[in-house]
Amino acid sequence: MAIANPRSDRRNAPNRSFPHPVYVARPLLPDFENYAASLREVWSSAILTNAGPKARALESELSHYLGVDHTLLFNNGTIALMLACRALRLRGKVIVTPFTFQATPHVLAWLGVEPIFVDIDPDSMTIDPAKIEAAITPDTTGILGVHVYGNPCDVQAIDAIGKRRGLKVVYDAAHAFGTCVNGTPIGQFGDATMYSLHATKLFHTAEGGAVAAKDAETIERMEHYRNFGIVDEFTVKDIGINGKMSELNASLGLCVLPLVEGEKVARRARAQLYNEILGRNVRIRVPEIAPIQDGSFQYYCVRLPQRNRAYDELRKANVFARKYFYPLCSNYDCYKHLHSSTPSNLPIANRVSEEVLCLPFHSGLSMDDVEIIASIVSDAATA
């Protein structure tokens, strides 16, 4: 979506519209010939799926990149999270944030587990550990936190609650590929961590997911679950499903992974420019920008009372910002009847969801594009 026009032409021009639609995300695409070369190897092996050599190679590269002992690949992040929760024997009720993509509570519901929504911290927008304990009942078996926009949950506090109260801790790190907490990789916390490898995520395999876990038994269960519960030719131990990643997707991942660091550098520069322009407006709250080695740079999200106006003004300019995460999961038809969904139980999440706006954020945006988008948002915030 690079726009060639010089700054002076468009930044302050009355018509700041883009000639092509500008989206929040754009998938990182490797050089096509690289991918074709990898596919040629797949063709000559005639192995297209079933934990083939490309998937195995990507699992080991991801373990290394993510700084975790063990990674398993799946056909998408939702199935990956569902199988991690099942492998950890989550039943009854599980404590979860409402400020997330709907896949997070859906996974619990598909397992017959009731999501218990707990409010978020107003700064990190992740689940508030101080409110978790009060929500624990004898039926509670786990805590499912989300590192929303790549902001790490308070992992120390949540892991400590899990240990103290005998609950499993699972993290949805769909936004947190490569996030570190004071140098410790995010996937080292909790009992399992899920990464989505969907095309809109920083690192992707078009469709895909991964789980990092430590416990050997949990890993073995997930491996069986993703392949119909098959142990060997004549033994089916568990009620599994098809959660396998194909060799075509794994090949794409092997080509995309080397591009991630460069993309992070480009996104960080764009985040800094957004912050510089939007931070001058007192009505806009800009995010803190993590150092390269700690951040995932998945989304760039601002908060402003005039969020809807900013969204509408951007739409007029052909810019498709996203109100992640509005509506809250607890306000969807399928969850609003739950006791924990009552808005008075979730005042901060309800307020934050009215203020958030994710802006286009990828290396395909020129610095001029960033300036134009920022100026539209800033004008809308003060209008």
Ligand X SMILES: *Cc1c(COP(=O)(O)O)cnc(C)c1O
Give me the residues that bind ligand X (CB under 6 A), please: 76-78, 100-101, 103-104, 146, 172, 174-175, 196, 198, 209
Nearer to ligand X, 151 or 341 (CB): 151
Residue 103 Cβ, how far from ligand X at the closest point, in Å? 4
Residue 205 Cβ, how far from ligand X at the closest point, in Å? 9
Residue 174 Cβ, how far from ligand X at the closest point, in Å? 3
Residue 298 Cβ, how far from ligand X at the closest point, in Å? 8
Nearer to ligand X, 16 or 267 (CB): 267
Q: Under a CB-based contact definition with an 8 Å cutoff, are residues 80 and 194 in contact?
A: yes
Nearer to ligand X, 59 or 172 (CB): 172
Nearer to ligand X, 80 or 167 (CB): 80
Nearer to ligand X, 252 or 284 (CB): 252
Residue 172 Cβ, how far from ligand X at the closest point, in Å? 5
Nearer to ligand X, 151 or 378 (CB): 151
Find, among 5, 2, 4, the residue nearest to 26 by Cα: 2
Q: Please tell me whether the peptide bond between 234 and the residue prior to it is cis, using omega within 30 degrees of 0.
A: no
DSSP state of 152: P
Among the residues of the chain, which ranges form H helices? Answer: 7-10, 32-45, 53-66, 77-87, 103-110, 129-135, 155-165, 216-225, 247-256, 260-278, 307-316, 347-353, 367-382
Instruction: Give the helix/strand (H/E) hosting 170.
Output: strand 168-172
Indicate the residue whose CB is closest to ligand X: 77
Number of neighbouring beta carbons within 10 Å of residue 210 = 28
Residue 27 Cβ, how far from ligand X at the closest point, in Å? 13
Distance from C-alpha of 106 to C-alpha of 110, rounded to nearest angstrom: 6
Label the pairing between strands 22-23 and 319-320.
parallel
Residue type, 132: I
Nearer to ligand X, 74 or 274 (CB): 74
Q: Under a CB-based contact definition with an 8 Å cutoff, are residues 30 and 259 in contact?
A: yes
Distance from C-alpha of 331 to C-alpha of 210, rounded to nearest angstrom: 28
Residue 195 Cβ, how far from ligand X at the closest point, in Å? 9
Mapping DSSP to helix (H, G, I), strand (E, B) and coil, where does residue 144 land? strand
Instruction: Give the helix/strand (H/E) hosting 93.
Output: strand 93-96
Q: Under a CB-based contact definition with an 8 Å cutoff, are residues 103 and 195 in contact?
A: no
Residue 142 Cβ, how far from ligand X at the closest point, in Å? 16
Nearer to ligand X, 196 or 345 (CB): 196
Nearer to ligand X, 97 or 227 (CB): 97
Q: Under a CB-based contact definition with an 8 Å cutoff, are residues 54 and 172 in contact?
A: no
Nearer to ligand X, 120 or 174 (CB): 174
Strand order in the sheet with 168-172: 71-74, 209-213, 192-196, 168-172, 140-146, 93-96, 114-117
Query: Phi and psi of 241, rounded to 5°?
Result: -145, 180
Residue 290 Cβ, how far from ligand X at the closest point, in Å? 18
What angle is formed at CA 63 by the lines to CA 58 and CA 64, rounded to 5 degrees? 100
Residue 68 Cβ, how far from ligand X at the closest point, in Å? 18
